[in-house]
Structure 1
Protein backbone atom coordinates (compact mmCIF):
# COMPACT_ATOMS: atom_id res chain seq x y z
CA UNK A 1 0.00 0.00 0.00
CA UNK A 2 2.89 2.38 0.79
CA UNK A 3 4.34 1.74 -2.68
CA UNK A 4 0.94 2.48 -4.23
CA UNK A 5 0.80 5.85 -2.43
CA UNK A 6 4.32 6.63 -3.66
CA UNK A 7 3.37 5.89 -7.28
CA UNK A 8 0.21 8.02 -7.00
CA UNK A 9 2.25 10.84 -5.47
CA UNK A 10 4.79 10.75 -8.29
CA UNK A 11 2.01 10.80 -10.87
CA UNK A 12 0.47 13.88 -9.23
CA UNK A 13 3.86 15.61 -9.15
CA UNK A 14 4.31 14.86 -12.86
CA UNK A 15 0.88 16.24 -13.73
CA UNK A 16 1.44 19.39 -11.69
CA UNK A 17 4.88 19.89 -13.26
CA UNK A 18 3.45 19.70 -16.78
CA UNK A 19 0.63 22.08 -15.88
CA UNK A 20 2.87 24.69 -14.28
CA UNK A 21 5.40 24.44 -17.10
CA UNK A 22 2.63 25.15 -19.59
CA UNK A 23 1.46 28.13 -17.51
CA UNK A 24 4.42 30.30 -18.56
CA UNK A 25 4.68 31.05 -22.27
CA UNK A 26 8.08 32.37 -23.40
CA UNK A 27 8.69 33.91 -26.83
CA UNK A 28 11.15 33.55 -28.37
CA UNK A 29 12.69 30.48 -26.75
CA UNK A 30 16.12 31.35 -28.16
CA UNK A 31 17.86 34.72 -28.65
CA UNK A 32 20.78 35.33 -31.04
CA UNK A 33 22.66 38.65 -31.24
CA UNK A 34 24.63 39.26 -34.41
CA UNK A 35 27.48 41.77 -34.70
CA UNK A 36 25.14 44.69 -35.47
CA UNK A 37 22.33 43.96 -33.01
CA UNK A 38 22.32 45.74 -29.64
CA UNK A 39 18.95 44.89 -28.08
CA UNK A 40 16.47 42.02 -27.94
CA UNK A 41 13.04 41.43 -26.43
CA UNK A 42 11.57 38.38 -24.69
CA UNK A 43 7.84 38.18 -23.98
CA UNK A 44 6.39 36.28 -21.03
CA UNK A 45 2.71 35.39 -20.72
CA UNK A 46 1.04 33.92 -17.64
CA UNK A 47 -1.19 31.30 -19.21
CA UNK A 48 -2.56 30.05 -15.89
CA UNK A 49 -5.50 31.08 -13.72
CA UNK A 50 -3.26 32.18 -10.84
CA UNK A 51 -0.97 35.12 -10.17
CA UNK A 52 2.69 34.22 -10.70
CA UNK A 53 5.98 35.82 -9.68
CA UNK A 54 9.25 35.02 -11.45
CA UNK A 55 12.80 36.01 -10.61
CA UNK A 56 15.11 36.39 -13.61
CA UNK A 57 18.79 35.58 -13.64
CA UNK A 58 21.49 33.72 -15.54
CA UNK A 59 22.75 30.15 -15.69
CA UNK A 60 25.95 28.95 -17.30
CA UNK A 61 25.48 25.57 -18.94
CA UNK A 62 27.57 23.04 -20.84
CA UNK A 63 25.92 21.19 -23.72
CA UNK A 64 26.25 17.40 -23.64
CA UNK A 65 27.00 15.22 -26.70
CA UNK A 66 23.92 13.09 -25.95
CA UNK A 67 21.62 16.11 -25.59
CA UNK A 68 20.66 18.39 -22.72
CA UNK A 69 22.96 20.39 -20.47
CA UNK A 70 24.77 20.33 -17.18
CA UNK A 71 25.24 23.41 -15.00
CA UNK A 72 28.78 24.77 -14.81
CA UNK A 73 30.44 25.52 -11.50
CA UNK A 74 32.01 28.92 -10.90
CA UNK A 75 35.47 27.49 -11.54
CA UNK A 76 34.35 25.98 -14.86
CA UNK A 77 32.88 29.15 -16.35
CA UNK A 78 35.14 30.43 -19.12
CA UNK A 79 35.62 33.56 -21.18
CA UNK A 80 32.65 32.70 -23.42
CA UNK A 81 30.14 33.66 -20.71
CA UNK A 82 27.70 36.19 -22.19
CA UNK A 83 25.80 37.16 -19.03
CA UNK A 84 28.51 39.63 -17.99
CA UNK A 85 27.82 41.62 -21.18
CA UNK A 86 24.00 41.73 -20.97
CA UNK A 87 21.88 44.25 -19.07
CA UNK A 88 18.45 42.80 -18.31
CA UNK A 89 15.30 44.63 -17.18
CA UNK A 90 13.27 43.89 -15.16
CA UNK A 91 14.86 41.27 -12.90
CA UNK A 92 11.62 40.20 -11.24
CA UNK A 93 8.09 40.18 -12.62
CA UNK A 94 4.61 39.63 -11.20
CA UNK A 95 1.98 38.44 -13.66
CA UNK A 96 -1.77 38.33 -13.21
CA UNK A 97 -3.64 35.58 -15.11
CA UNK A 98 -3.33 36.26 -18.83
CA UNK A 99 -0.94 39.18 -18.31
CA UNK A 100 2.02 39.75 -20.62
CA UNK A 101 5.41 41.21 -19.67
CA UNK A 102 8.27 42.41 -21.85
CA UNK A 103 11.85 41.65 -20.80
CA UNK A 104 14.53 43.79 -22.45
CA UNK A 105 18.07 42.59 -23.09
CA UNK A 106 20.82 45.08 -23.95
CA UNK A 107 24.21 43.88 -25.18
CA UNK A 108 27.30 45.83 -24.08
CA UNK A 109 30.22 44.61 -26.15
CA UNK A 110 33.80 45.09 -25.02
CA UNK A 111 36.83 46.10 -27.02
CA UNK A 112 39.17 43.30 -28.01
CA UNK A 113 36.68 40.45 -27.71
CA UNK A 114 37.95 37.26 -29.33
CA UNK A 115 36.04 35.90 -32.35
CA UNK A 116 33.61 33.13 -31.54
CA UNK A 117 30.24 32.37 -29.99
CA UNK A 118 29.34 33.62 -26.51
CA UNK A 119 26.42 32.07 -24.60
CA UNK A 120 24.54 32.16 -21.32
CA UNK A 121 21.06 30.92 -20.41
CA UNK A 122 18.36 33.34 -19.29
CA UNK A 123 16.78 31.80 -16.21
CA UNK A 124 13.18 32.21 -14.99
CA UNK A 125 12.52 30.94 -11.47
CA UNK A 126 8.95 30.71 -10.22
CA UNK A 127 8.69 31.99 -6.65
CA UNK A 128 6.39 30.20 -4.18
CA UNK A 129 2.82 31.43 -3.89
CA UNK A 130 0.47 31.40 -0.93
CA UNK A 131 -1.57 28.69 -2.56
CA UNK A 132 0.07 25.27 -2.38
CA UNK A 133 -0.95 22.10 -4.14
CA UNK A 134 -2.21 19.60 -1.59
CA UNK A 135 -3.28 16.00 -1.93
CA UNK A 136 -5.30 15.01 1.12
CA UNK A 137 -5.67 11.45 -0.09
CA UNK A 138 -1.98 10.66 0.36
CA UNK A 139 -1.01 13.42 2.78
CA UNK A 140 1.55 15.09 0.50
CA UNK A 141 1.90 18.87 0.47
CA UNK A 142 3.48 20.14 -2.77
CA UNK A 143 4.88 23.67 -2.75
CA UNK A 144 6.75 23.47 -6.02
CA UNK A 145 9.33 25.96 -7.29
CA UNK A 146 9.87 25.46 -11.00
CA UNK A 147 12.32 27.13 -13.33
CA UNK A 148 12.92 27.47 -17.06
CA UNK A 149 15.81 28.77 -19.14
CA UNK A 150 16.46 29.80 -22.74
CA UNK A 151 19.83 30.18 -24.52
CA UNK A 152 21.05 33.69 -25.36
CA UNK A 153 23.91 33.89 -27.89
CA UNK A 154 26.21 36.52 -29.37
CA UNK A 155 28.36 35.71 -32.40
CA UNK A 156 31.46 37.71 -33.29
CA UNK A 157 33.19 37.01 -36.60
CA UNK A 158 31.89 33.45 -36.82
CA UNK A 159 31.48 31.36 -39.94
CA UNK A 160 28.62 29.05 -40.88
CA UNK A 161 29.45 25.67 -39.33
CA UNK A 162 29.91 22.53 -41.38
CA UNK A 163 28.33 19.20 -40.46
CA UNK A 164 29.08 15.61 -41.39
CA UNK A 165 27.21 12.38 -40.58
CA UNK A 166 28.33 8.88 -39.63
CA UNK A 167 27.38 5.69 -37.78
CA UNK A 168 23.75 5.56 -38.89
CA UNK A 169 21.83 2.53 -37.67
CA UNK A 170 18.28 1.38 -36.91
CA UNK A 171 17.73 -0.25 -33.52
CA UNK A 172 14.75 -1.32 -31.45
CA UNK A 173 13.96 0.34 -28.14
CA UNK A 174 12.87 -1.54 -25.05
CA UNK A 175 9.25 -1.03 -26.08
CA UNK A 176 9.86 -2.63 -29.47
CA UNK A 177 9.71 0.62 -31.44
CA UNK A 178 12.40 1.48 -33.95
CA UNK A 179 14.90 4.24 -33.22
CA UNK A 180 17.35 5.82 -35.66
CA UNK A 181 20.79 6.44 -34.19
CA UNK A 182 23.47 8.55 -35.83
CA UNK A 183 26.41 10.82 -35.10
CA UNK A 184 26.69 14.45 -36.21
CA UNK A 185 30.14 16.03 -36.43
CA UNK A 186 30.32 19.85 -36.32
CA UNK A 187 33.22 21.97 -37.59
CA UNK A 188 33.60 25.71 -36.98
CA UNK A 189 33.37 28.31 -34.21
CA UNK A 190 29.57 28.63 -34.09
CA UNK A 191 26.63 26.42 -33.18
CA UNK A 192 24.14 24.94 -35.61
CA UNK A 193 20.35 25.20 -35.38
CA UNK A 194 17.81 23.50 -37.57
CA UNK A 195 15.59 20.59 -38.53
CA UNK A 196 16.72 16.97 -38.90
CA UNK A 197 14.66 14.85 -41.30
CA UNK A 198 15.13 11.20 -42.13
CA UNK A 199 13.66 9.42 -45.17
CA UNK A 200 13.50 5.69 -45.91
CA UNK A 201 13.34 3.85 -49.23
CA UNK A 202 13.10 0.07 -49.30
CA UNK A 203 15.09 -1.98 -51.78
CA UNK A 204 12.21 -2.31 -54.29
CA UNK A 205 10.56 1.05 -53.62
CA UNK A 206 10.75 4.06 -55.92
CA UNK A 207 9.80 6.90 -53.57
CA UNK A 208 11.16 8.17 -50.26
CA UNK A 209 9.03 8.03 -47.10
CA UNK A 210 9.70 10.45 -44.25
CA UNK A 211 10.11 8.39 -41.10
CA UNK A 212 11.49 10.87 -38.55
CA UNK A 213 11.82 14.61 -37.92
CA UNK A 214 13.31 16.76 -35.15
CA UNK A 215 12.95 20.55 -35.07
CA UNK A 216 15.12 23.12 -33.26
CA UNK A 217 18.13 20.82 -33.08
CA UNK A 218 21.37 22.57 -32.08
CA UNK A 219 25.00 21.49 -31.81
CA UNK A 220 26.95 23.96 -29.66
CA UNK A 221 30.66 24.82 -30.04
CA UNK A 222 31.71 22.70 -27.04
CA UNK A 223 30.28 19.62 -28.79
CA UNK A 224 32.27 18.34 -31.76
CA UNK A 225 30.33 15.09 -32.18
CA UNK A 226 26.70 14.73 -31.11
CA UNK A 227 25.02 11.36 -30.57
CA UNK A 228 21.48 11.64 -31.91
CA UNK A 229 18.52 9.32 -31.35
CA UNK A 230 15.36 9.89 -33.41
CA UNK A 231 12.03 8.16 -32.89
CA UNK A 232 10.40 6.72 -35.99
CA UNK A 233 7.15 8.48 -36.91
CA UNK A 234 5.35 5.66 -38.65
CA UNK A 235 4.18 2.35 -37.23
CA UNK A 236 5.46 0.62 -40.34
CA UNK A 237 8.84 -0.88 -39.59
CA UNK A 238 11.82 -0.46 -41.86
CA UNK A 239 12.69 -4.01 -42.78
CA UNK A 240 15.14 -5.77 -45.07
CA UNK A 241 17.63 -3.80 -47.14
CA UNK A 242 17.07 -0.17 -48.01
CA UNK A 243 18.40 3.36 -47.89
CA UNK A 244 18.21 6.11 -45.28
CA UNK A 245 18.50 9.74 -46.37
CA UNK A 246 19.35 12.21 -43.59
CA UNK A 247 18.91 15.95 -44.19
CA UNK A 248 19.85 18.66 -41.68
CA UNK A 249 18.56 22.09 -42.76
CA UNK A 250 18.86 25.41 -40.93
CA UNK A 251 16.12 27.31 -39.11
CA UNK A 252 15.83 30.93 -37.90
CA UNK A 253 19.13 32.69 -38.73
CA UNK A 254 20.17 29.66 -40.81
CA UNK A 255 16.93 29.44 -42.80
CA UNK A 256 17.36 27.85 -46.26
CA UNK A 257 20.85 26.65 -45.31
CA UNK A 258 21.46 22.94 -45.88
CA UNK A 259 24.07 21.77 -43.39
CA UNK A 260 24.29 18.24 -44.70
CA UNK A 261 22.44 15.67 -46.81
CA UNK A 262 23.65 12.10 -46.99
CA UNK A 263 22.29 8.73 -48.09
CA UNK A 264 23.24 5.52 -46.29
CA UNK A 265 22.72 2.01 -47.65
CA UNK A 266 21.54 -0.35 -44.91
CA UNK A 267 21.49 -4.14 -45.03
CA UNK A 268 19.58 -6.47 -42.69
Structure 2
Protein backbone atom coordinates (compact mmCIF):
# COMPACT_ATOMS: atom_id res chain seq x y z
CA UNK A 1 0.00 0.00 0.00
CA UNK A 2 1.46 3.34 -1.04
CA UNK A 3 0.64 6.77 0.33
CA UNK A 4 2.25 10.22 0.19
CA UNK A 5 3.20 11.16 3.74
CA UNK A 6 4.97 14.53 3.47
CA UNK A 7 5.68 17.13 0.86
CA UNK A 8 8.65 19.51 1.18
CA UNK A 9 9.08 22.78 -0.71
CA UNK A 10 12.58 24.28 -0.92
CA UNK A 11 13.61 26.79 -3.63
CA UNK A 12 11.01 25.34 -5.98
CA UNK A 13 12.38 21.86 -5.35
CA UNK A 14 9.50 19.54 -4.63
CA UNK A 15 10.42 16.39 -2.74
CA UNK A 16 7.79 13.68 -2.40
CA UNK A 17 8.27 11.12 0.33
CA UNK A 18 6.51 7.89 -0.49
CA UNK A 19 5.82 5.40 2.27
CA UNK A 20 5.49 1.72 1.43
CA UNK A 21 3.58 -0.50 3.87
CA UNK A 22 4.03 -4.26 3.89
CA UNK A 23 2.57 -7.00 6.03
CA UNK A 24 4.73 -9.83 4.83
CA UNK A 25 5.69 -13.10 6.36
CA UNK A 26 9.38 -13.53 7.71
CA UNK A 27 8.99 -9.81 6.99
CA UNK A 28 11.63 -8.16 4.83
CA UNK A 29 11.54 -4.95 2.83
CA UNK A 30 14.37 -2.73 1.74
CA UNK A 31 17.27 -4.01 3.86
CA UNK A 32 15.28 -4.72 7.05
CA UNK A 33 14.44 -8.25 8.16
CA UNK A 34 12.02 -8.75 11.07
CA UNK A 35 10.96 -11.86 12.98
CA UNK A 36 8.45 -12.96 14.09
CA UNK A 37 5.94 -11.82 11.46
CA UNK A 38 3.10 -11.33 13.97
CA UNK A 39 2.72 -11.22 17.74
CA UNK A 40 -0.21 -12.62 19.71
CA UNK A 41 -0.42 -12.02 23.46
CA UNK A 42 -2.75 -14.58 25.03
CA UNK A 43 -2.86 -16.60 28.22
CA UNK A 44 -0.06 -15.52 30.55
CA UNK A 45 2.16 -14.14 27.80
CA UNK A 46 3.06 -10.51 28.47
CA UNK A 47 6.40 -9.90 26.74
CA UNK A 48 7.68 -10.52 23.20
CA UNK A 49 10.87 -9.51 21.43
CA UNK A 50 10.98 -8.57 17.76
CA UNK A 51 14.30 -9.31 16.09
CA UNK A 52 15.50 -6.72 13.56
CA UNK A 53 18.42 -7.26 11.20
CA UNK A 54 20.02 -4.98 8.61
CA UNK A 55 20.81 -7.07 5.52
CA UNK A 56 22.07 -4.10 3.50
CA UNK A 57 25.40 -2.35 3.01
CA UNK A 58 24.53 0.99 4.64
CA UNK A 59 23.63 2.05 8.16
CA UNK A 60 19.86 2.52 8.47
CA UNK A 61 17.66 4.27 11.03
CA UNK A 62 14.07 3.27 11.77
CA UNK A 63 11.42 5.01 13.84
CA UNK A 64 8.98 2.70 15.63
CA UNK A 65 5.33 3.64 16.18
CA UNK A 66 1.79 2.25 15.92
CA UNK A 67 -0.69 2.48 13.05
CA UNK A 68 -4.28 1.23 12.84
CA UNK A 69 -5.78 -0.70 9.95
CA UNK A 70 -9.07 -2.12 8.83
CA UNK A 71 -9.02 -5.13 6.54
CA UNK A 72 -11.22 -4.91 3.46
CA UNK A 73 -13.10 -7.93 2.15
CA UNK A 74 -10.39 -8.47 -0.48
CA UNK A 75 -7.67 -8.62 2.20
CA UNK A 76 -6.16 -5.18 1.53
CA UNK A 77 -5.50 -2.78 4.41
CA UNK A 78 -6.85 0.72 4.89
CA UNK A 79 -5.31 3.03 7.50
CA UNK A 80 -7.83 4.41 10.00
CA UNK A 81 -7.78 6.53 13.14
CA UNK A 82 -10.99 5.31 14.81
CA UNK A 83 -11.98 1.66 15.24
CA UNK A 84 -14.86 0.24 13.22
CA UNK A 85 -17.85 -1.21 15.14
CA UNK A 86 -16.63 -4.41 16.77
CA UNK A 87 -12.95 -3.50 16.35
CA UNK A 88 -10.62 -2.78 19.28
CA UNK A 89 -7.19 -1.13 19.09
CA UNK A 90 -4.35 -2.57 21.18
CA UNK A 91 -1.85 0.31 21.24
CA UNK A 92 -3.03 1.86 24.53
CA UNK A 93 -2.23 -1.42 26.28
CA UNK A 94 1.20 -1.93 24.72
CA UNK A 95 4.62 -0.54 25.52
CA UNK A 96 7.74 -0.97 23.41
CA UNK A 97 11.40 0.00 23.59
CA UNK A 98 13.40 1.43 21.90
CA UNK A 99 11.42 3.85 19.73
CA UNK A 100 14.30 4.45 17.32
CA UNK A 101 16.62 1.76 16.00
CA UNK A 102 19.97 2.36 14.26
CA UNK A 103 21.44 -0.68 12.51
CA UNK A 104 24.88 -0.88 10.92
CA UNK A 105 25.31 -3.33 8.00
CA UNK A 106 24.86 -6.87 9.29
CA UNK A 107 23.84 -5.66 12.74
CA UNK A 108 20.84 -7.01 14.66
CA UNK A 109 18.79 -5.61 17.54
CA UNK A 110 15.62 -6.46 19.41
CA UNK A 111 12.54 -4.34 20.11
CA UNK A 112 10.79 -5.40 23.30
CA UNK A 113 6.97 -5.40 23.35
CA UNK A 114 5.03 -5.59 26.62
CA UNK A 115 1.31 -5.79 27.48
CA UNK A 116 -0.05 -3.35 30.06
CA UNK A 117 -3.20 -3.56 32.20
CA UNK A 118 -4.53 -6.69 30.52
CA UNK A 119 -6.69 -7.38 33.59
CA UNK A 120 -8.69 -4.21 32.86
CA UNK A 121 -9.63 -5.28 29.33
CA UNK A 122 -13.01 -6.76 28.48
CA UNK A 123 -12.97 -10.22 26.85
CA UNK A 124 -12.23 -10.10 23.14
CA UNK A 125 -9.44 -9.27 20.72
CA UNK A 126 -7.42 -6.06 20.44
CA UNK A 127 -5.23 -5.30 17.41
CA UNK A 128 -2.79 -2.60 16.33
CA UNK A 129 0.17 -2.71 13.94
CA UNK A 130 3.69 -1.71 14.93
CA UNK A 131 5.25 0.34 12.15
CA UNK A 132 8.98 0.41 11.38
CA UNK A 133 9.57 3.48 9.20
CA UNK A 134 12.93 4.13 7.60
CA UNK A 135 14.40 7.58 8.20
CA UNK A 136 15.87 9.12 5.02
CA UNK A 137 19.39 10.45 5.14
CA UNK A 138 19.41 14.23 5.62
CA UNK A 139 21.54 14.75 2.54
CA UNK A 140 18.77 13.37 0.36
CA UNK A 141 16.63 16.43 1.04
CA UNK A 142 19.25 19.08 0.26
CA UNK A 143 20.26 20.83 -2.92
CA UNK A 144 23.76 19.48 -3.40
CA UNK A 145 24.26 20.86 -6.90
CA UNK A 146 25.28 24.51 -6.55
CA UNK A 147 24.99 25.00 -10.32
CA UNK A 148 21.38 23.82 -10.47
CA UNK A 149 18.82 26.11 -12.11
CA UNK A 150 16.82 27.38 -9.11
CA UNK A 151 14.19 28.97 -11.36
CA UNK A 152 13.08 25.57 -12.66
CA UNK A 153 10.76 23.14 -10.98
CA UNK A 154 12.31 19.77 -10.29
CA UNK A 155 10.85 16.73 -8.60
CA UNK A 156 12.77 14.26 -6.52
CA UNK A 157 11.03 11.11 -5.32
CA UNK A 158 12.50 9.46 -2.24
CA UNK A 159 11.04 6.08 -1.25
CA UNK A 160 10.62 5.61 2.50
CA UNK A 161 10.26 1.93 3.27
CA UNK A 162 8.02 0.84 6.07
CA UNK A 163 7.02 -2.52 7.51
CA UNK A 164 4.03 -3.18 9.71
CA UNK A 165 3.63 -6.14 12.08
CA UNK A 166 0.24 -7.02 13.62
CA UNK A 167 0.26 -7.02 17.42
CA UNK A 168 -2.77 -8.78 18.94
CA UNK A 169 -3.98 -9.02 22.55
CA UNK A 170 -6.53 -11.75 23.29
CA UNK A 171 -8.55 -11.79 26.49
CA UNK A 172 -10.76 -14.73 27.40
CA UNK A 173 -11.67 -17.82 25.42
CA UNK A 174 -12.13 -17.78 21.66
CA UNK A 175 -15.42 -18.90 20.14
CA UNK A 176 -14.33 -18.15 16.57
CA UNK A 177 -15.55 -20.40 13.76
CA UNK A 178 -14.58 -20.29 10.09
CA UNK A 179 -16.33 -21.74 7.04
CA UNK A 180 -15.37 -21.72 3.36
CA UNK A 181 -17.97 -21.01 0.67
CA UNK A 182 -18.31 -20.06 -3.01
CA UNK A 183 -15.40 -22.21 -4.19
CA UNK A 184 -14.87 -21.77 -7.94
CA UNK A 185 -12.21 -22.60 -10.51
CA UNK A 186 -11.51 -19.47 -12.54
CA UNK A 187 -9.43 -19.08 -15.70
CA UNK A 188 -7.33 -15.90 -15.78
CA UNK A 189 -5.75 -16.53 -19.18
CA UNK A 190 -4.70 -19.46 -21.39
CA UNK A 191 -2.05 -20.61 -18.91
CA UNK A 192 -3.24 -19.25 -15.55
CA UNK A 193 -5.97 -20.63 -13.30
CA UNK A 194 -6.98 -19.68 -9.78
CA UNK A 195 -9.25 -21.20 -7.18
CA UNK A 196 -11.44 -18.47 -5.70
CA UNK A 197 -13.46 -18.77 -2.49
CA UNK A 198 -14.73 -16.87 0.53
CA UNK A 199 -13.80 -17.19 4.20
CA UNK A 200 -16.78 -16.72 6.53
CA UNK A 201 -15.77 -15.87 10.11
CA UNK A 202 -17.97 -15.85 13.20
CA UNK A 203 -16.99 -15.22 16.80
CA UNK A 204 -15.01 -12.89 19.03
CA UNK A 205 -11.49 -13.26 17.60
CA UNK A 206 -9.67 -13.31 14.27
CA UNK A 207 -8.67 -16.40 12.32
CA UNK A 208 -5.18 -17.18 11.06
CA UNK A 209 -3.80 -20.16 9.18
CA UNK A 210 -2.48 -21.72 5.98
CA UNK A 211 -4.45 -22.49 2.83
CA UNK A 212 -4.03 -25.66 0.79
CA UNK A 213 -5.80 -26.43 -2.51
CA UNK A 214 -5.77 -30.07 -3.63
CA UNK A 215 -7.03 -31.80 -6.75
CA UNK A 216 -8.55 -35.23 -6.21
CA UNK A 217 -8.69 -37.33 -9.37
CA UNK A 218 -11.49 -39.83 -10.07
CA UNK A 219 -9.15 -42.65 -8.95
CA UNK A 220 -8.47 -40.87 -5.62
CA UNK A 221 -5.03 -39.43 -6.36
CA UNK A 222 -4.36 -36.24 -4.38
CA UNK A 223 -2.25 -33.51 -6.00
CA UNK A 224 -1.39 -30.24 -4.28
CA UNK A 225 -2.21 -27.40 -6.69
CA UNK A 226 -1.29 -24.38 -4.57
CA UNK A 227 -0.69 -23.14 -1.04
CA UNK A 228 -0.58 -19.82 0.79
CA UNK A 229 0.75 -19.48 4.33
CA UNK A 230 -0.25 -16.92 6.93
CA UNK A 231 -3.77 -15.96 5.82
CA UNK A 232 -5.75 -13.87 8.32
CA UNK A 233 -9.37 -12.85 8.65
CA UNK A 234 -9.31 -10.04 11.20
CA UNK A 235 -12.07 -8.83 13.46
CA UNK A 236 -14.58 -7.35 12.92
CA UNK A 237 -14.69 -8.76 9.36
CA UNK A 238 -17.25 -11.46 8.73
CA UNK A 239 -15.77 -12.52 5.40
CA UNK A 240 -12.70 -12.35 3.20
CA UNK A 241 -12.52 -13.13 -0.49
CA UNK A 242 -9.41 -15.04 -1.49
CA UNK A 243 -7.70 -16.63 -4.48
CA UNK A 244 -5.00 -19.29 -4.76
CA UNK A 245 -2.92 -19.40 -7.92
CA UNK A 246 -2.64 -22.92 -9.34
CA UNK A 247 0.96 -23.99 -9.89
CA UNK A 248 1.54 -24.09 -13.65
CA UNK A 249 4.11 -26.85 -13.22
CA UNK A 250 1.48 -29.24 -11.87
CA UNK A 251 -0.25 -31.24 -14.60
CA UNK A 252 -3.74 -32.50 -13.73
CA UNK A 253 -7.07 -32.73 -15.52
CA UNK A 254 -9.06 -29.76 -14.23
CA UNK A 255 -12.16 -31.00 -16.01
CA UNK A 256 -12.58 -34.11 -13.86
CA UNK A 257 -12.38 -35.10 -10.23
CA UNK A 258 -12.80 -32.52 -7.47
CA UNK A 259 -11.06 -29.61 -5.74
CA UNK A 260 -10.58 -29.44 -1.98
CA UNK A 261 -9.77 -26.20 -0.13
CA UNK A 262 -8.42 -26.51 3.42
CA UNK A 263 -7.72 -23.82 6.00
CA UNK A 264 -5.25 -25.17 8.58
CA UNK A 265 -3.81 -23.80 11.81
CA UNK A 266 -0.06 -23.28 11.78
CA UNK A 267 1.73 -26.16 13.47
CA UNK A 268 4.90 -28.12 12.68
CA UNK A 269 3.42 -31.35 13.99
CA UNK A 270 -0.31 -31.73 13.53
CA UNK A 271 -2.11 -28.64 12.18
CA UNK A 272 -5.79 -28.46 13.09
CA UNK A 273 -8.32 -28.09 10.31
CA UNK A 274 -10.12 -24.76 10.70
CA UNK A 275 -12.34 -25.10 7.63
CA UNK A 276 -12.74 -27.21 4.49
CA UNK A 277 -14.84 -27.13 1.32
CA UNK A 278 -14.89 -29.10 -1.93
CA UNK A 279 -16.41 -28.83 -5.40
CA UNK A 280 -16.81 -31.36 -8.19
CA UNK A 281 -15.27 -30.46 -11.53
CA RMSD of aligned residues (A): 2.7
SS in 2 for 1:144: strand
Q: Is the 8 A contact 1:202 1:240 kept in 2?
A: no
1:254–1:184 CA distance, 2 compared to 1 (3 A): farther
41, 53, 65: which is aligned to 2:49? Answer: 41
User: Match for residue 27 of structure 1?
Assistant: 35
CA contact (8 A) 1:117 1:158 kept: no
Is 1:145 the counterpart of 2:160? The answer is: yes
> Which whole-Å CA distance do the structure 2 matches of 1:206 and 1:79 have between them?
44
Correspondence for 2:105: 97
Confirm or deny: 8 A CA contact 2:33 2:52 kept in the other structure: yes
Structure 2 CA distance for partners of 1:164 and 1:59, relative to 1, 3 Å: same
Partners of 1:201 and 1:95 lie apart in 2 by 49
Which structure has greater helix proportion? 1
Structure 1: which 5+ runs fail to align?
Answer: 1-12, 133-138
Asked whether the 8 Å contact 1:194–1:254 carries over to 2, the reply is no
- How far the C-alpha of 1:74 sits from its partner, in A, is 4.2
- Residues 216-227 of structure 1 aligned to structure 2 (within 5 Å): 216-227=230-241
Distance in 2 between the 1:253 and 1:82 partners? 28
The Cα of 1:68 is off from its aligned counterpart by 2.1
1:194-222 Cα shifts (integer Å, max 9, x gaps):
1110111234x331111010101111122
**Alpha-carbon distance between aligned partners in 2 of 1:259 and 1:179, rounded to the nearest angstrom:** 21
- TM-superposed CA distance for 1:240, in Å, is 1.8
Q: Provide the rounded CA distance (Å) in 2 between the counterparts of 1:149 and 1:225.
A: 22
1:118-147 CA distances to partner (integer Å, 9 max, x unpaired)?
000000000002565xxxxxx985432111
Aligned residue pairs: how many?
243
1:124 to 132, 140, 145: 132
Counterpart selection for 2:73 from 52, 65, 81: 65
Q: 1:255/1:143 Cα in 2 relative to 1: closer, same or farther (>3 Å)? A: farther
Q: CA deviation at 1:78?
A: 7.7
TM-score (norm 1): 0.82
Q: Measured at CA, do residues 82 and 254 of structure 1 come closer, stay the same or move farther in structure 2, by a change above 3 Å?
A: farther
Q: Distance in 1 between matches of 2:244 and 2:191?
A: 14
Q: The residue matched to 1:35 in structure 2 has which SS? A: coil
Query: Which residue of 230, 233, 247 corresponds with 1:233?
Result: 247
In proportion to residue count, which structure has more strand? 2
- Residue 122 of structure 2 is aligned to residue 114 of structure 1: yes
Q: Please name the residue that 1:182 is paired with.
A: 197
Q: TM-score, normalised by structure 2?
A: 0.78
Cα deviation, 1:164-207, whole Å, max 9, x if unaligned, reads 1111111111464001001111121111111110111234x331
Query: Structure 1's 191 and 253: CA in aligned 2 closer, same or farther, altered over 3 A?
Result: farther
- Superposition deviation, residue 226 in structure 1: 1.1
Q: Contact 2:213 / 2:260 at 8 angstroms: preserved in 1?
A: yes
The structural deviation recorded for 1:62 is: 0.5
Q: Cα distance, 1:37 vs. partner?
A: 1.2
- Give 3-state SS (helix, strand or coil) of 2:29's partner: helix
RCO greater where, 1 or 2, for CA within 8 Å and sep 6 or more?
2
